[in-house]
Copies of this chain bind each other. A is one copy, B any other.
Amino acid sequence: MTTTPVSFALPTVPLRKGESTAQRILDAAEALFSERGFSGTTLRDVAARVGLRIPSLYNHFASKESLYAAVLERGFGPVLGVLSDFLDEGSESRGDATRVVERVMALLGQRPNLARLVVHETLSGGQRLTPLLRNWIAPIFARAHEMAETGPAARRWDAERIPLVVLAMYHVVVGYFAIAPLYLELNGSNLMTTSALARQTEFLKELVATLFPEE
Contacts and interface: CB of A to CB of B under 8 A. Distances in A.
A185 B130 CA distance: 10
Given A124-B40, A210-B210, A1 B3 contact: yes
A151 interface: no
Interface string A28-66: 000000111111100000000000000000000001110
A15 interface: no
A178 B5 contact: no
A55 B63 CA distance: 32
In the assembly, how many copies of this chain are there?
2
A127 B5 contact: yes
Nearest to A35: B124
A212 B173 CA distance: 20
A175 B64 CA distance: 28
A198 B15 CA distance: 54
A125 B165 CA distance: 28
Contacts of A171: 171-172, 174-176, 179
Interface of A: 1-3, 5, 34-40, 63-65, 116, 119-127, 130, 133, 137-138, 141-142, 160-161, 163-165, 167-168, 170-172, 174-176, 178-179, 181-183, 185-187, 189, 199-200, 203, 207, 210-211
Given A35-B123, A119-B119, 8 more contacts: A1-B63, A35-B124, A40-B124, A122-B181, A138-B186, A168-B203, A170-B175, A171-B175
24 contacts: A1-B65, A35-B125, A36-B39, A37-B39, A37-B120, A37-B123, A38-B40, A39-B39, A39-B40, A40-B40, A40-B124, A122-B182, A123-B178, A125-B181, A133-B186, A141-B187, A163-B189, A167-B172, A167-B175, A168-B203, A168-B207, A171-B171, A175-B175, A210-B211
